[in-house]
Amino acid sequence: MNRQISIIIFGSLFAFTLYRSYHYDNIFQLYIYLLLGIPLVFLFFKSIIEWIKSQKTNNGNLTNWKSLIIGVLVISINVGIYSYYEIKVNKPTLIKALIFGGYVDFKKNGEYVIISGSWASRTHFYGTFIIKDSIITVDRKGFDDVLTTNRFVIRNSNRLIKDNYKNNEVIIKKHLIQINGKGKEIKRKYSQENYRLPVVVDNLN
């Protein structure tokens, strides 16, 4: 197969996998990265080496130039995707609450990152929110079977409990609570028990 086409195929598949990793979890993700990344890096460095050799022999092979340029472009696209999402998920947090298998992270700039779902098949959500009269409203109607609303409030805990966050023990003083359009707390779908998310980061005040 033509090297240029191979670089485009492996690079495009790697970019698609990288993009999806910021939207959906996949237990085979690491293996897919290795399967696509190793050939891509090998082909790219091979193009660099052959280009250097062609420069030394004054043989400006157009094929080597094309392979090198395509390789640089493909890698730049992947770096761009990675940088875009890493900047997004690492923006300063306003409120962060834990959820089974994920978290709810409201950013100071009015954006949110929410990861929810069962283990190994979690979905990542991105969007914006507003806070009015202590009610947090997001830009979508709901997320999944766990987060079923677009309205949240923060309430003080009935009792102080301890939780683990980033390998540190934290005291949970508040919970993030889902509410419906009438302001009533939404309970668990099947058990009808309270479903309150421990707040581990609170920079509201």
* pLDDT tens, residue by residue, 108-158: 999 999 998 776 778 999 999 999 988 999 998 878 877 888 899 998 887
The CA distance from 125 to 127, in Å, is 7
**Cβ(8)–Cβ(75) below 8 Å:** no
Dihedral, CA of residue 167, residue 169, residue 173 and residue 175, to nearest 10: 30
pTM tops 0.95, yes or no: no
> What CA–CA distances, in Å, run from 101 to 17, 58, 91?
21, 58, 21
Q: Is the dihedral of CA 65, 70, 73, 78 positive or negative?
A: negative
**Cβ(114)–Cβ(147) below 8 Å:** yes
Which residues of the chain are modeled with pLDDT < 50? none
The per-residue pLDDT for 149 is: 86
List, in order, residues 6 or more apart from 170 with CB less than 8 Å away: 162, 163, 164, 200
The CA distance from 154 to 44, in Å, is 51
The per-residue pLDDT for 114 is: 93
Chain Cα centroid distance, residue 205: 27
The CA distance from 71 to 105, in Å, is 36
The per-residue pLDDT for 186 is: 83
